[in-house]
Amino acid sequence: MSAADASVRASDAVRTRLTTAARRLGVPGAVALVVVALVLLAVVAPSLVAPGSPAAIDPGRAMQPPGWGTWFGTDESGRDVWTRVVHGASSSLGVGLAATAIGTGLALVLGFAAGLGPRWLDAGVSRIIEVLYALPTMVLALLLVAVQGPGVAASVLAVGLATAPGYARILRARARSVADSGYVAAARLEGRGGAWVLRRHILPNALWPLVAVVTLGIGQAVVWVAALSFLGLGARPPSSEWGAMLNAGRVYLTSSWWLTVCPGLAITVTAAALTVLGRRFGRVAA
């Protein structure tokens, strides 16, 4: 086979995989992908989407309803709500990503320790995971924030620690299943070392299903961190974090609905898009 034929076959294989992935994503997955891309654009370059400062005050424009030039209206200080929502994406999605990273990192330690360790370690870690998993995530997060004290760092750490048991439970079951599989036993019979088996078989097959779950978890983390901020336990006004904006706007809910509806829609749409994308990504990975 010539180099040109090999290149054509490789490009055809890539094109086939992309086509299959696009079909499995479907229209909802494509829409969710576009929404997530727009949110990421707001995180990376918010000034391209909403030029101006989210802290710019103009008392003469206070409490203007949504309209031309002020898409999401203005707040009690005359700050543009659209600009604040766009610039707040970095805070809201950033804390969601940080909380998910903390939960995933802890889950990797607990899940692999239980799934690949000796039976006594598996039994001990599994009991800890089950006790923590029995508590609702939000209740556990509130408990941890009560111990640490309110603040952005405390809310991120609390949500991260609260989500870790669920990830660890999935990872432990997957790692145990892969470790007991026939192809791992065959690799060991061939004389392959434990490090080679871990790198070649266990890690790829155990971690890949976790990717879709973590994508779902980011959306959940965004909602939970925003909920803590709404309760006054996370970011606080005048922060443009979406939960803090909800907290600041609830006082004017009956007279200026856009102060709560607009950041609330940002939270809902972002979390829904990440959830849809995570589920579709799980189908593609399967």
Q: Where are the domains of the chain?
A: 29-285
Region of poorest pLDDT, from 137-141, 158-162, 168-172, 196-200: 196-200
Predicted confidence at residue 24, as pLDDT, reads: 65
**Distance between CA atoms of residues 233 and 218, nearest Å:** 19
Predicted confidence at residue 261, as pLDDT, reads: 93
Name which of 159, 140, 39 is nearest 98 in CA terms: 159
Q: What's the distance, CA 40 to chain centroid?
A: 12
Name which of 212, 234, 211, 210 is nearest 222 in CA terms: 234
Give the other-Cβ count within 10 Å of 266's Cβ: 24
**CA atoms in the 13 A half-sphere facing the CB of 223:** 17
Report whether pLDDT(4) > 50: no
Predicted confidence at residue 80, as pLDDT, reads: 93
Predicted confidence at residue 22, as pLDDT, reads: 59
Residue-wise pLDDT for 57-112, tens only, equals 888 888 999 988 788 999 988 999 999 999 999 888 888 889 899 999 999 899 88
Decide yes or no: CATH 1.10.3720.10 for domain 29-285: yes
Predicted confidence at residue 285, as pLDDT, reads: 53
**Distance between CA atoms of residues 258 and 243, nearest Å:** 14
Q: Provide the 3-class DSSP secondary structure of residue 238.
A: coil
The residue type found at 205 is N
